[in-house]
Amino acid sequence: MIISLKDARDEAREHMRGGEGTVYFKHPVANKEDLPKKCRLFAQIIVPDGASMGYHEHSGETEFYYILEGEAILDDGKSKTLLKPGDTVVTGNGDGHSVINHSGADVKMLACIVLD
């Protein structure tokens, strides 16, 4: 199966999980019902400069971020790490994170959440 970009569903989330600004999602599989049962999210996420996703935890699931473009700070509650293109973040087992962009450019990442 091939899904055209024109068929993707766009979504904007203001103050995502208590974060700043608006974070944008592009869902290539437009209907959540078409995702495999153990996949809760598969999307490109754009975090504009000055925006963030607030701290949240992942229990009963694992979230993967793959950084495509830009740089952001990942705060896992213990330390802050600079994310760069090519980096992969894996968060599960009740751990949490936030993503903060003050880099001067958009951050684009691929995100997938898989249920345990």
The predicted-structure confidence for 48-68, as pLDDT tens digits, reads as follows 999 999 999 999 999 999 999
Give the domain ranges of the chain. Answer: 52-116
Of residues 6 and 11, more confidently modeled: 11
Instruction: Identify the three-state secondary structure at position 17.
Output: helix
Question: CATH number for the 52-116 domain, one of 2.60.120.10, 3.40.50.720, 3.40.50.360, 3.50.50.60?
Answer: 2.60.120.10
Looking at the predicted structure, is the pLDDT value of residue 4 above 90? no
Contact between 99 and 72 under an 8 Å Cβ cutoff? The reply is: yes
CB 76 within 8 A of CB 47: no
**What distance in Å separates the CA atoms of residue 64 and residue 43, rounded to the nearest whole number?**
11
Dihedral of the CA atoms 21, 55, 113, 89 (nearest 10)? 100
